[in-house]
A and B are shown apart, each in its own frame.
Chain A
Amino acid sequence: MIELVDVSKHFGHLKALRHVDLEVPAGQKLVIIGPSGSGKSTLIRCVNMLEKPSSGRVIVDGVELTALRAPVAKVRQSVAMVFQSFNLYPHKTVLENVALAPIVVCGVKKEQATEAALTYLKRVGLSDKADKYPAQLSGGQQQRVAIARALNMHPKIMLFDEPTSALDPEMIQEVLEVIIDLAQGGITMVVVTHEMGFAKEAADRVVFMDEGRIIEDGTPEHFFENPQHDRTKLFLSKILR
């Protein structure tokens, strides 16, 4: 479903990604873990080409996005992203946030997109907020709206870049529950997170990144109980005290 082949990304002299290879089969729930600055965001943003790799190939759902004139916008319709800072559209109501792109981008009929939007808002527990504006919601509620917005595109792939890092502690759980619930379904998911509990509970696979490279790759059990690299052990000992 997702294939990164020898992907590097440089920002000037800084090498954010160094020759990364990664293949994510359909339906897999992949969690990316790693210290700050290790390239997690850059990696996940290469999947939907918000970041253009300096070299290497990105193939998503059979389409090579790094090819010249690749239909990037088309592929993005089925690759939803949830951001750390929610990035809801502040001038639109909650309902409009969820229904806008299906209507404008995919050409879904307005009534149909709105109805589906209400279904997804209900699923994330926010049907009563449909007519509010994002600024009137708590952080946790905003992030759940962002998830509903992503779901209303009926994506094959969902990318989460630290979806709970900007939230107050008491709101982290309500968002994680929604994502864990989603992970029961068939969508391919890539989640950058510092929530080890989530990785243990919902992931099929964990990769650990350091200095622009993937240095550990395996099941959650392998990762937490039997890490190979000293760098991983050190990271875990710090985070799982």
Chain B
Amino acid sequence: MSDLIANIGFLQQGPFAIPRWEALFSNIDLLWQGTIVTLTVASLGLALALVLGTVLGVMAASHWRVPRAFTRAYVEFYQNTPLLIQVFMIFNALPMVFSGLFIPVITIGILGVGMYHGAYISEVVRAGIQSIGRGQLEAALSQGFTYVGAMRYIIIPQAMRIVLPPLTNQAVSLIKNTSVIAIIAGGDLMYAGDAFAGRFGHYGPTYVIVGLGYFLMCFPLAMLARRLEDRTRVL
């Protein structure tokens, strides 16, 4: 058995050699800390994106001109500039505008992915609302519901079934996109991996394990999306 392993060249030397794996696993708590930061940023960022996306989506589907124009501008800005530059701006430009302002890394990450994916989610929500027939809104309004009340009790619950699969896809890309904070501010799983790999040169095992970490966070959501999609097809 050990003969067999001894003969597998790439475990003896090169980027995936066994000593590199050993070094990684003895320092695994570094990656673990990064994972916790990433999970925090991802979950709070997702919460922000969902709230923002729902509010903006409802505004975008309304007949109120000013809120509609505002959401349009917001969405176009966030969808057509790279997330990296947006995060850079939050990190560097905001403290210049409000001098002395210190924004913790985690907050930068949450704002970054939250506002970026909020734009995408608002488009998903808008499309979902618009897919519900006009008669539903009219029925609700004719009973004395306000526009917001009609959205809350009648339209959004129905749009939810249609919107859940694309929403889950957004959650998955949000998790992966938390990794941009590695480049700007640091602290997350990607950054922890970069830092460790850069210090000792153990790139191979580090990126395998970091990649696996992201996979384990995203895959359950992707599975959920598939399940929901199957269910909405039956409905």
Chain B contacts of A88 at CB under 8 A? 139
Whether B142 and A48, one on each chain, are in contact in the complex, defined by CB atoms closer than 8 angstroms, is yes
A88 to B133, CA, bound (A): 11
Q: Is the CB of B141 within 8 A of A50?
A: yes
Main secondary structure of the interface of B (DSSP, over half): helix
Shortest beta-carbon distance from A80 to chain B in Å = 7
Q: Is the CB of B145 within 8 A of A101?
A: yes
Q: Contact check, A50 vs B138: say whether CB atoms are below 8 A apart.
A: yes
**Tier of interface size on chain A:** 20 to 34
Contact bitstring A78-114, B, C-beta under 8 A = 1, else 0: 0111010101111100000000110011100000000
For the residues of A in contact with B, the DSSP-based class is: loop
B104 in contact (CB, < 8 A): no
The yes or no answer to A74 lying at the interface (CB within 8 A) is yes
A77→B149 CA distance, assembly (Å): 14
The answer to whether the Cβ of B33 comes within 8 Å of any Cβ in the partner chain is no
What chain A residues lie within 8 Å of B145 (beta carbons)?
A: 73, 101, 104-105
A129 within 8 A of B: no
Alpha-carbon distance between A105 and B149 when the two chains are bound, in angstroms: 8
Residues A106 and B139 in contact, CB atoms below 8 Å apart:
no
Contact with A along B142-154 (1 / 0, CB 8 A): 1111100100011
Q: Of A77, A91, A101, which one neighbours B157 at CB under 8 angstroms?
A: A91
Please, which residues of chain B bring their CB within 8 A of the CB of A50? 138, 141-142
| Residues of A near any B CB (own CB < 8 A) | 48, 50, 73-74, 76-77, 79-81, 83, 85, 87-91, 100-101, 104-106, 149, 153
Cβ contacts A to B, 27 pairs, < 8 Å: A48-B142, A50-B138, A50-B142, A73-B141, A73-B145, A76-B143, A77-B143, A80-B143, A81-B142, A83-B135, A85-B135, A87-B133, A87-B135, A87-B136, A87-B138, A87-B139, A88-B139, A89-B154, A90-B158, A91-B157, A91-B158, A101-B140, A101-B143, A101-B144, A101-B145, A104-B149, A153-B144
16 additional A-B residue pairs with CB within 8 Å, beyond A50-B138, A85-B135, A105-B143? A48-B142, A50-B142, A73-B141, A73-B144, A76-B142, A77-B144, A81-B142, A83-B138, A87-B133, A87-B135, A89-B158, A100-B153, A101-B144, A104-B153, A105-B144, A153-B143
